[in-house]
Amino acid sequence: MAFNYDFGYSQKQNARIFDNAVRIEKREGVPPEADFIPEADTLRIGAGKRVKATVMFIDICGSSQRASESELEQDDNLRVLSLYFSEMIRVIEELGGTIEKNTGDGLMAYFVTEGDMSGPVRGLCASLSIFKAKILLDDISARVWRLVPLDFRICLDDGWITVARVGAARRFNAVVAIGTTANLAAKMLSFADENELLLGENVQRELPAQAKQFTWLKTSDTGWTYEATGAPYRFFRYSARYETPKFEPKS
């Protein structure tokens, strides 16, 4: 049956758009601040909370170039994606992160300060733990399964975001992050190479001294500037990685 966009449907569509605009306008004030990421079921549609958070984006590199036409190829990709994503999600949650969404070929997550561990430190520790796990994940993929391992990049930025719930009530709706920090963390991916960790200047600035002993490499011009001063907002390549533990045989 064909869909007919007739006068009756147009009138109904116009009415619901105006009604929704009125409802949105009636919201009371700006979103309140919180020190935690709100659960989806605690937010009304169109409502949110402002949170200072470190936003993480993980992007699988070259996913569109992986052969995925035949049934066998798709099953191979499913196995590899399941292996890597399962460990990524576990690491993020164990470091206190909240996963917003699976982007198909990546993940987006938030980290906030809890106790004596800041959001930037949690995000950094999670990133390094994921890269450390990649050694074994790659080995299983290549040596055991004879499949091409996944390469990925991770980007972190920190700042104030509004975590809100948008969509249609009793239909599709989702929690999203609104703010420059979330946009930057996503845009930074285009500056990151395979298996690279890239940090925004806000993350770099808040890391403790012991984390800053490693080598920092400034990227080329990012195209982002501080509104007040016009100075460039810098991205940094984080070169350190967790070392592989050396196990001594028992005597």
Q: What is the rounded CA–CA span in Å between residue 112 and residue 122?
A: 8
Per-chain mean pLDDT for the chain: 85
Instruction: Check: CB of residue 108 under 8 Å from CB of residue 101.
Output: yes
Q: What is the pLDDT of residues 151-199, one digit of tens each?
A: 999 999 999 999 888 877 767 777 888 899 999 999 999 999 999 999 9
pLDDT band at 118 (very low <50, low <70, confident <90, very high): very high
3-state secondary structure of 178: strand
Read off the pLDDT of each residue in 116-126 and give the average, rounded to a whole number.
Answer: 94
Q: H or E segment at 108?
A: strand 106-111
* Residues 30-238, CATH architecture: 2-Layer Sandwich (3.30)
Q: Tokens 């950094």 belong to which residue?
A: 124
- Highest mean pLDDT of the ranges 141-150, 224-233, 242-251: 141-150
Is 249's pLDDT higher than 70?
no
At residue 229, the pLDDT reads 84
H or E element at residue 77: helix 71-94
What is the model's pLDDT at position 170?
67
- Give me the count of residues in the chain: 251
Domain spans of the chain? Answer: 30-238
Q: Which residues pair with 245 in a beta bridge?
A: none
Q: What is the pLDDT of residue 28?
A: 66
Strand partners for 24 = none
Where is average pLDDT lowest: 4-8, 135-139, 149-153, 190-194? 4-8
The model's pLDDT over 32-65, given as tens digits with 9 standing for 90+, comes to 777 777 777 777 777 788 999 999 999 999 877 7
pTM: 0.85
